[in-house]
C-alpha cells in the first residue's frame, strides 16, 4: 500500500532531482546531450517503435507570437505535448514565410510578385518564389536590426521556458531562412525574386552579418541547449545580371568560424541526404557540403529528402541511411512515410547512429 508520506517523498525527490539538474547546468555550463539516432516528427512515437525517442518538433513563429511581444500562440502546446511524451526534442521554429506579418512589415517596403499572385501589401515583406517545388510567400527584411531584435526577443522567450528543461536538447537556427529551414538558400535561380531581394537592399555582407548575429543570439541565450544549423551552398545575392552566385565557399568560411566560436554546442546537418550523396573527385571541404560534413566532427547528421524523392521504397530509405552512416552521422531525420517499413531494421539503424563516435 502506498502511503501519503511515500507519495510526498516521491514528489519531493522529483523536485530535488530537477533542482539538481538545473544547478548542475548552472554550475559548470554543462551542455545537454545532443539528439542521436533516428528522429521522427511523431508525437508520441509511432506504434511499435519506442526506440524512436528523438523527435523534431516543428512550429511556425507566427504560431508562437500572436502579437508583438505576446507569446500565447497554439505552437507552445505542440512543444509541451512532445515534452509530456518524454521525448528528446530538437525544436525547429520556422521563420521566413512563417514569420508573423507584423514583423514582416518592419525594415522596408512591401515588394509583391504579381506573376504568382503574391500581394505583399497584405502581409508586408518581400515576395518569394522558388521553382524547386513551385512555392511562394512573403519573407521579412531579416537582415535588418528591426527583424533581428525581434528574433532575439523570440529566442529569449524560448530560453526562458526551455533552457533548464532537459527534454529540449537543441534549438534550430532558422532566423535567416526564406521558404525552407535551410538558411543559406534564398530562391535558387528565380531571377525576379533575386532581383527583388537585391532591390530590397540585401548584400552578401548584410547576409553574413545577419547569420553571425543569429548565432551570437543563440550562444548568449542558450548556455546548456545546443544550436542546430543546416548547411549547403550559399545563394549569394549580388549585382550580377541574374543577381545570384551559388557557392559553398562562403558557407565553409562561415561554418568554420561558427564551429570555432561555438564548438560542439553547434550541431551541423544537411537537409538533402540521398543515396547519391558523396564527396566526389575534384571536390573538397571548401567547395562541397558533403565533403565538409564527411570531415567535420560531431555532433552532425542529416535530414533525408522526401520519401518520393528518395525513390519511395524501404530499400531507398535504408540505402540512404547506409550513406549517412558512412558520413559518420550521429542522427538522421526520417521522411514522412517511413512508418510502413520494417521496424526491426529501423531499430538496427537507430542503434548504429546512437553509437557513431562524435
Report the CATH number that the domain containing residue 224 is assigned in CATH.
Answer: 3.20.20
Q: Quick one: residue 14, left, alpha or beta (phi over 0 = left, psi -120 to 50 = alpha)? A: alpha
pLDDT at residue 26, as a whole number: 41
Contacts of 112 (CB under 8 A, 6+ apart): 118, 119, 120, 121, 127
Residue 17, domain member (yes or no): no
pLDDT at residue 132, as a whole number: 83
Contact between residue 251 and residue 233 where contact means Cβ atoms under 8 Å apart = yes
3-state SS, one letter per residue, for the chain: CCCHHHHHHHHHHHHHHHHHHHHHHHHHCCCCCCCCEEEECCCCCCCCCCCCCEEEEEEEHHHCCCECCECCCCHHHHHHHHHHCCCEEEEEEECHHHCCHHHHCCCCCCECEHHHCECHHHCCCEEEEECCCCEEEEECCCCCHHHHHHHHHHHHHHHHHHCCCCCEEEEECCCCCCCCCCCCCCCCCCHHHHHHHHHCCCCHHHHHHHHHHHHHHHHHHCCCCEEEEECCCEEECCCCCCCCEEECHHHHHHHHHHHHHHHHHEEEEEEEECCCCCCCCCCCCCCCHHHHHHHCCCCEEEEECCHHHHCCCHHHHHHHHHHHHHCCCCEEECCCCHHHCCHHHHHHHHHHHHCCCC
pLDDT at residue 28, as a whole number: 47
Cα(138)–Cα(136) distance, rounded to whole angstroms?
7
**Does the pTM of the predicted model rise above 0.85?**
yes
pLDDT at residue 13, as a whole number: 36
Tally of residues, the chain: 358
Residue 62, domain member (yes or no): yes
What number of other Cβ atoms are within 10 A of residue 15's Cβ?
Answer: 10
Query: What grid cell was written down for 192?
Result: 525576379
Contacts of 247 (CB under 8 A, 6+ apart): 233, 234, 236
Give the pLDDT means over successive 10-residue stretches in the chain (358 positions).
Answer: 37 36 49 98 94 98 98 98 96 98 98 97 97 92 98 98 98 97 92 97 98 98 98 97 96 98 97 97 97 97 97 98 98 97 98 96
pLDDT at residue 305, as a whole number: 97
Residue 11, domain member (yes or no): no
Cα(165)–Cα(169) distance, rounded to whole angstroms?
8
Cα(305)–Cα(183) distance, rounded to whole angstroms?
17
Residue among 94, 48, 36 at smallest CA distance from 338: 48
Residue 7, domain member (yes or no): no
Query: What grid cell was written down for 93?
Result: 521554429
Residue 56, domain member (yes or no): yes
Residue 37, domain member (yes or no): yes
pLDDT at residue 88, as a whole number: 97
3-state secondary structure (DSSP) of residue 286: coil
Residue 22, domain member (yes or no): no
Contact between residue 128 and residue 209 where contact means Cβ atoms under 8 Å apart = no
Domain count of the fold of the chain: 1
pLDDT at residue 17, as a whole number: 35
Residue 302, domain member (yes or no): yes
Question: What is the span of the domain harbouring residue 208?
Answer: 31-354
Strands 234-236, 245-247: pairing kind: antiparallel
Amino acid at each position: 500500500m502506498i502511503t501519503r508520506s511515500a507519495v510526498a517523498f516521491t514528489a519531493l525527490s522529483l523536485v530535488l532531482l530537477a533542482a539538481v539538474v538545473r544547478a548542475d547546468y548552472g554550475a559548470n555550463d554543462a551542455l545537454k546531450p545532443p539528439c542521436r539516432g533516428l528522429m521522427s516528427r511523431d508525437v508520441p512515437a509511432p506504434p511499435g517503435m519506442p526506440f524512436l525517442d528523438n523527435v523534431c518538433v516543428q512550429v511556425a513563429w507566427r504560431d508562437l507570437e500572436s502579437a508583438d511581444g505576446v507569446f500565447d500562440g497554439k505552437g507552445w502546446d505542440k512543444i509541451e505535448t512532445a515534452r509530456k511524451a518524454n521525448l528528446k526534442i530538437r525544436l525547429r521554429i520556422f521563420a521566413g514565410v512563417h514569420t508573423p506579418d507584423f514583423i514582416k512589415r518592419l525594415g522596408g517596403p512591401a515588394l509583391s510578385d504579381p506573376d504568382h499572385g503574391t500581394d505583399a501589401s497584405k502581409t508586408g515583406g518581400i515576395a518569394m518564389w522558388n521553382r524547386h517545388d513551385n512555392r511562394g510567400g512573403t519573407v521579412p527584411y531579416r537582415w535588418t536590426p528591426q527583424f533581428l531584435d525581434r528574433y532575439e526577443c523570440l529566442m529569449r522567450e524560448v530560453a526562458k521556458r526551455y533552457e533548464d528543461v532537459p527534454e529540449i536538447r537543441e534549438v534550430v537556427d532558422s532566423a535567416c531562412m526564406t521558404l525552407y529551414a535551410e538558411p543559406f538558400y534564398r530562391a535558387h535561380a528565380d531571377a525576379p525574386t533575386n532581383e527583388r531581394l537585391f532591390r530590397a537592399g540585401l548584400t552578401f555582407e548584410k547576409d553574413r552579418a545577419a547569420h553571425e548575429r543569429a548565432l551570437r543570439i543563440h550562444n548568449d541565450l542558450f548556455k546548456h541547449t545546443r544550436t542546430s544549423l543546416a548547411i549547403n551552398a550559399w545563394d549569394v545575392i549580388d549585382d550580377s545580371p541574374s543577381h545570384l552566385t551559388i557557392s559553398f565557399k562562403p558557407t565553409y568560411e562561415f561554418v568554420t568560424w561558427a564551429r570555432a566560436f561555438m564548438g560542439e554546442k553547434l550541431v551541423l546537418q544537411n537537409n538533402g541526404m540521398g543515396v547519391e550523396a558523396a564527396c566526389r573527385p575534384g571536390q573538397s571541404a571548401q567547395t562541397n557540403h558533403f565533403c565538409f560534413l564527411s570531415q567535420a566532427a560531431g555532433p552532425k547528421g542529416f535530414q533525408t529528402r522526401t520519401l518520393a524523392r528518395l525513390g519511395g521504397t524501404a530499400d531507398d530509405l535504408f540505402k540512404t541511411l547506409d550513406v549517412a552512416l558512412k558520413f559518420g552521422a550521429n542522427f538522421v531525420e526520417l521522411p514522412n512515410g517511413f512508418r510502413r517499413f520494417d521496424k526491426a531494421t529501423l531499430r538496427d539503424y537507430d542503434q548504429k547512429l546512437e553509437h557513431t563516435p562524435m
